Amino acid sequence: MSIAWVYLFAAGLLEICWVLGMKYSQGFTKLGPSVFTIITLSFSMYLLAKSVSVIPVGTAYGIWVGIGAIGAAAMGIFLFHEPVTPFRLIFLGMLFVAIIGLKLTAA
């Protein structure tokens, strides 16, 4: 696995961080979480940009968004007690399968 894939995975994890930071910033009205959000967003974008220098942009962006969506949904369930329904879990599973499919079919 090339370093570009490591960058992409890290960018996806940082996407989860900045999304959670937005929730805690309460509309950017709290300084600490707002700064955290901006920093993690910046690093996430930087690593995404590094990864697309090697990985096709459609593949990288799809995987980045998918990691963020699955992670944000999972953290919403665990941290904010968001609802867990069978359909929600099915669709998150479908996202996971799509991420794996994009990785396996990447040029």
Per-residue pLDDT at 78: 96
Asked whether residue 107 carries a pLDDT value surpassing 90, the answer given is: no
Distance CA 65, CA 41 (A): 13
Sequence ranges of the domains in the chain: 3-104
Is the pLDDT at 1 greater than 70? The verdict is: no
Q: What angle do CA 22, 25, 30 make, to 5 degrees?
A: 155
pLDDT the model gives residue 81: 97
Asked if residue 34 lies in contact with residue 25, where contact means CB atoms within 8 angstroms, the answer is: yes
Tell me the C-alpha distance between 52 and 94, whole Å.
24
